[in-house]
Amino acid sequence: MIEQRLAAQPTITVPTITLDGDADGIVPATDGKSTAAKFSGERQHRVMPNVGHNLPQEDPKAFATAVWELASKKR
């Protein structure tokens, strides 16, 4: 059941921070506009300097900071 719902790619309604690494050799960093329509809640997009494809491993502090910001938001 949940797999079918996710397969439909529903709009994401929770606050979100999307991240791109500017040194990603697989997927070039973007301004986030191409996926913005997938989010209806508050959304920020950040490009992480000197980070490649594996953001949590390559810059764990910046990744954790983004997660903490979302977790700390008052709802």
| pLDDT tens readout for residues 66-75 | 999 999 876 6
Q: Assess contact for 58 and 51: CB atoms under 8 A.
A: yes
Which residues, in sequence order, are bridge partners of residue 15?
Answer: none
Mean pLDDT, residues 58-70 taken together = 94
CA 4 – CA 56 distance, rounded (Å)? 28
| pLDDT tens readout for residues 22-37 | 999 898 999 999 999 9
Which residues, in sequence order, are bridge partners of residue 19?
Answer: 46
Query: Rounded to two decimals, what is the model's pTM?
Result: 0.80
CA 20 – CA 28 distance, rounded (Å)? 8
In the structure, what pLDDT confidence band is assigned to residue 1 with cuts at 50, 70 and 90? Answer: confident
- State the DSSP code for 26: S
